[in-house]
Amino acid sequence: MKISFSAPAMPRTGPLVVCVQSGGELLATAEKIDKATDGALRRAIDASRFKGESGQSLTVMSPSGVGASRIVMMGIGDAERFDDLAAQALGGRAYQTVSGTGDKASVIAIDPVKGSKLKIAEISANAAYGALLGSYRFDKYRTKEKPDAKPSLRNLTIASRDSAAAKNSFGPLKKTADGVFFTRDLVSEPANVIYPITLAQQARTLAKLGIKIQVLDEKQMAKLNMGALLGVAQGSAHKPRLVVMRWDGAPRAKNKAPIAFVGKGVTFDTGGISIKGAAGMEDMKWDMGGSGVVIGLMKALAGRKAKVNAIGVVGLVENMPSSTAQRPGDVVKTMSGQTVEVINTDAEGRLVLADAMWYCQDRFKPHTMIDLATLTGAIIVSLGNENAGMFANDDEICERLTAAGKSVGEPVWRMPLGDAYDKLINSDIADMKNIGGRWGGSITAAQFLQRYVKDGVKWAHLDIAGVTWSSRDTPTVPKGGTAFGVRLLDRLVTDHYES
């Protein structure tokens, strides 16, 4: 879908979206149309339950006096609560309302919202951003879908005063959306299409944006003693890969330690010898969600030319049962030199991250490292599908992540760490075991990862198991792969780490 910006103008065809505040208060364009149609909008409101609340909409078909095929009134709620996220939701809902009408073009009229802190250019840019995010659709494998079932909208115009400023503000948001879409695509692909080698190939495409890419194969990882990552991969015909992405967006700070992002990339997770139940196993194609977020984030940072030096590292494996697969009770030696007794082969993501995190720190010496993983079902038991679990060794990074998540609608909730939890993963025959028992599973998984964080490195772990895939639509996140984490970390970098 193409999005453009223009000065206020009445369309001659297609739907026109206008805004209404709580209490049925028409904004400027809606008021103008109401007068031109001899009160058609107010009559429609009076005859309905539409009150201008956020989430409400009301359509008036072919009103006499205007060229538009229909007027769609979108509720924006209370002005004082109308912020960036509300403007994005407005755009997303507007797109969803008009995309299936059969029209190829539509206009959203943006007017000043008295009482809101947002300037009209900010409202316009965020409405466009929300519409773009909400337009995502993964349909490449639908070969018999009827045209009437597909979105018809091809062009969306955001009409407002100060359209030039709105277009400029939208530019970086569009690049972030590119990263979000890339992640959604990767997470949505089936495991016969995306496996370690092909996912590494997808990451290589970022080189055209100026990102330096290096891919390590199993022989190179063996020389680095990555026994934990390689142990997970040994049961699969698909060979593992470790992908390193480097964005030097602050060349004057070239010698300054970078910020690093590390992602779990289990392209399919059967559980290995500790095999999962059959029900729902198809969902395990998105067990590489953490790596997908890191790859999409790096695309977003490079796309908008973020003034930051950032590293992205993703460990890519497939966890399969076979005659060569890792067994419960095996002991592996990690790159750090620490040994792990593998009690459960379905607790594999932490093994992959252990070597990826150590490699990242050993080579790049980051000041801050954030890892992302669809790590535990336990975090879904704790937080459902609304928040990502956040664990950290530093209060400041927690506060920053919490604020960034709130501002983009990707909330995180801090979970505890402590010595009592850490003792639960002590092993009788090795330095540690890879699970800590039935209780507090997301916490003991984080404690495991913390043993691979070097002194002086600020670290946060985001368990995104409950938020990587959605079974329902929202205005800006269609059901399916969410790319939760791309916008969150992009905002974190914007607010705190760009020079």
Q: Give yes or no: residues 188 and 124 share one domain.
A: no
Structure confidence at residue 254 (pLDDT): 66
The residue range of the domain holding 281 is 176-496
Options 276, 307, 333, 365, the catalytic residue: 276
What are the strands, taking DSSP E only, across 51-198?
A: 57-61, 70-77, 105-109, 155-159
Domain end call among 131, 161, 191 = 161
Cα–Cα distance measured from residue 240 to residue 385, given in angstroms and rounded to the nearest whole number: 30
Burial of residue 490 (CB within 10 Å: 0-12, 13-18, 19+) is: buried
- Nearest Cα residue to 18 out of 438, 104, 421, 44: 44
Averaged over successive runs of 10 residues, the pLDDT of the chain (499 residues) comes to 94 94 97 95 97 97 90 97 98 96 96 96 98 97 91 96 97 98 98 98 98 98 98 98 97 85 98 97 98 98 98 98 98 98 98 98 98 98 98 98 98 98 98 96 98 98 98 97 98 97
Final residue in a domain of this structure, among 100, 133, 161: 161
Whether 135 and 106 have beta carbons less than 8 Å apart is answered as: no
Regarding whether 293 and 250 lie in a shared domain, the answer is yes
Rounded Cα distance, 76 and 82, in Å: 7
- In a domain, residue 390? The reply is yes
- My answer on whether 373 and 481 are in the same domain is yes
- Regarding whether 373 and 272 lie in a shared domain, the answer is yes
- Residues 311 and 219 reside in one and the same domain: yes
Residue 104 annotated to the active site: no
Whether 51 is a known active-site residue: answer no
User: CATH number, domain at 143?
Assistant: 3.40.220.10
Contact at 8 Å (CB) between 205 and 302? Answer: no
Q: In the chain, how many domains are there? A: 2
155 and 180 belong to one structural domain: no
Residue 161 contacts residue 7 (beta carbons within 8 Å): yes
Q: What is the pLDDT of residue 9?
A: 85
169 falls within a domain: no
**Residue 459 within a domain:** yes
Task: Judge if 220 and 343 occupy the same domain.
Answer: yes
We report the CATH number of the domain holding residue 297 as: 3.40.630.10
Of 179, 221, 225, 218, nearest to 202 by C-alpha is 179
pLDDT of 10 reads 86
374 within a domain of the structure (yes/no): yes
Please indicate, yes or no, if residue 146 is contained in any of the structural domains: yes
Domain presence at residue 167: no
Instruction: Check residue 253 and give its pLDDT.
Output: 74
Of 109, 129, 161, the domain-final residue = 161
124 and 233 share a domain? no
Same domain, 83 and 201: no
Residues 123 and 261 in one domain: no
Q: Who's near 446: CB < 8 A, 6+ residues apart?
A: 389, 391, 415, 417, 461, 463
Whether 171 is in a domain gets the answer no
Q: What is the pTM of this model?
A: 0.97
321 and 458 part of one domain:
yes
What whole-number distance in Å separates Cα of residue 371 and Cα of residue 431? 22
pLDDT at position 189 is: 98
Are 212 and 250 in the same domain? Answer: yes
Q: Which residues of 26-48 are buried (b: 16+ CB within 10 A; e: fewer)?
A: bbbbbbbbbeebeebbbebbeee
Beta-carbon contacts of 192 under 8 Å, excluding residues fewer than 6 positions away, are none
Nearest alpha carbon to residue 387 among 366, 364, 412? 412
Catalytic residue among 246, 285, 299, 350: 350
Please report the pLDDT score of residue 168 as a whole number.
98
Whether residue 203 is contained in a domain is answered as yes
Residue 65: predicted pLDDT:
86
3-state helix, strand, coil in the chain (%, to 5): 40, 20, 40
